[in-house]
Amino acid sequence: MSKIRLGLVGCGGMGHRHLFGLAELHRTGLCRFDPVAVCDPKIENAESLAGHIETHFGRLPAVVDSLDDLAAVGDIQAIDICTDPRHHHTVAGDAMVRGWDVMTEKPMGLTVRACRLMQSAAEQHGRILAVAENYRRDPINRLAKALLDNGVIGAPRYMIHNTAGGGDQMMISVWRHQKNASGVLLDVGVHFSDILEYFMGPVSTIYAQTRLHEKIRYNALAGKNPDEVPTHSPAGVYERWQTQMPAEFEATAEDAAYATLSFENGAVCHYLEEHATHGKGFWQRAIYGSKGSMDLPGDRSGREISISLDNEQYEGEALLELVPDFCLDKATTALFGGQRMWQYNFPFPETDRKIIAIEYADFARAIDEGRQPEVNAEMGTRSVAVSYGILESGQAGRVVTVDEVMEDKTNTYQQEINESMGL
């Protein structure tokens, strides 16, 4: 079977992370993609990514700065979009008109309206649209899902999802703090929205308060020599760009959300997402059911789940006894080194590569089998809608339904963003 000819569009930090994930899949012998071209209007970013492809795949890809030039490479079958979110819908739409299947980084689109345009284009042109949503791919979250589906803690009643940290420091890049470019409650929130619905089913209603606490953000790496700065960002790939960003800048997107989410199954979630916390940060995710509770570790940490029933405690390898049929898919097994895992211990950059590799493997299976990917356009849109549901509720001061956000009936918060994109 011939390889799927792939173009990578957007060759900055996220593009490099995705390429390292593709290389990790290639290492297992399970990679169905041939990265034949890289595309970025900043040609130096594309050249950097091309060099890494040559290192890992043994062949230098074409380097281009536009989709027209990408098409001229010939026989492109699929693209992976790693641009900033403002461009996801336009790049995806253009690609699908050209007959290319698409995987896009999250958030799927910058607004619900942008997501719907992408979804319509995929349906109109009969193309696959996959969303690179990675928290659910974590083997520990796969195990948690199996435990929930097997009724180990009974029917879920409520969930706690609390995360706080960040202070006044820039989170990866300037645009992640700009309302018209993303905002942290969307950029990070779609991860949380997806994993909440993965575990608990569809969210139905949201009541939230939101805040912009830190109106000025600081970048400690500004002006430094990129060859001399410590690696601290996710997967250690962003520092070279962070040194070129301003030392301080104004944030325009909210950085804190305090919400109550109700699910269609009747369960409730206490939700806190705080990216402006000073002092000691914290993480907590737990699910309480009719028979017991489940404490979950941070995503992509490899740490263990803990199950507490009325008279029993389960953790470690004993968890596997509760789900005898639990089994990871072929790609995850090859990447993480086991079919039935309850923990793992890899440095985060390696874990990051492996999780992204799983996204690529699923995308390839969808193309080969002509089926929907695990995280399809409707699910990607829902994650955006739940995240904006929090922001829309915070602005309106009332309960909102996810349906009204999905149908673009409640979009006051998004209006400015849509207008800035001409939507």
Average per-residue pLDDT for the chain: 96
pLDDT at 290: 98
Q: How confident is the model at residue 237 (pLDDT cuts 50, 70, 90)?
A: confident
pLDDT at 228: 81
For the chain, the domains span 4-134, 136-343
Q: Express each pLDDT in 17-65 by its tens digit.
A: 999 999 999 999 999 999 999 999 999 999 999 999 999 999 999 999 9
Residue 229 has pLDDT above 90, yes or no: no
pLDDT at 236: 79
Residue 121 sits at φ, ψ, to 5 deg, of -65, -40
Q: CB under 8 Å to 120, separation ≥6 — which residues?
A: none
Report how far residue 137's alpha carbon sits from residue 202's, in angstroms, rounded to the nearest whole number.
18
pLDDT at 72: 97
CATH of the domain spanning 4-134, picked from 1.10.3720.10, 3.40.50.300, 3.40.50.720, 1.10.3430.10: 3.40.50.720
Contact 60, 81 (CB under 8 A): no
pLDDT at 377: 98
Query: Which ranges in 292-408 belong to alpha helices (H)?
Result: 330-336, 348-369, 377-396, 402-406
Q: CB under 8 Å to 332, separation ≥6 — which residues?
A: 137, 139, 142, 358
Residue 308 has pLDDT above 80, yes or no: yes
Tell me what the mean pLDDT of segment 339-357 comes to: 97
Q: Express each pLDDT in 93-152 by its tens digit.
A: 999 999 999 999 999 999 999 999 999 999 999 999 999 999 999 999 999 999 999 999
Residue 226 has pLDDT above 90, yes or no: no
Tell me what the mean pLDDT of segment 308-324 comes to: 96
pLDDT at 112: 98
Residue 233 has pLDDT above 90, yes or no: no
Q: Express each pLDDT in 372-385 by its tens digit.
A: 999 999 999 999 99
Record the tokens describing residue 137, joined without a space. Answer: 């791919």
Share of the chain above pLDDT 90, in %: 96
CATH of the domain spanning 136-343, picked from 3.40.50.2300, 3.30.70.2190, 2.30.30.140, 3.30.360.10: 3.30.360.10
Report how far residue 65's alpha carbon sits from residue 37's, in angstroms, rounded to the nearest whole number.
10
Residue 232 has pLDDT above 80, yes or no: no
**DSSP structure string for 291-307:** SEEEEEPPTTS-PPPEE
Residue 234 has pLDDT above 80, yes or no: no
Q: Express each pLDDT in 191-218 by its tens digit.
A: 999 999 999 999 999 999 999 999 999 9
Q: CB under 8 Å to 53, separation ≥6 — which residues?
A: 19, 35, 38, 59, 60, 61
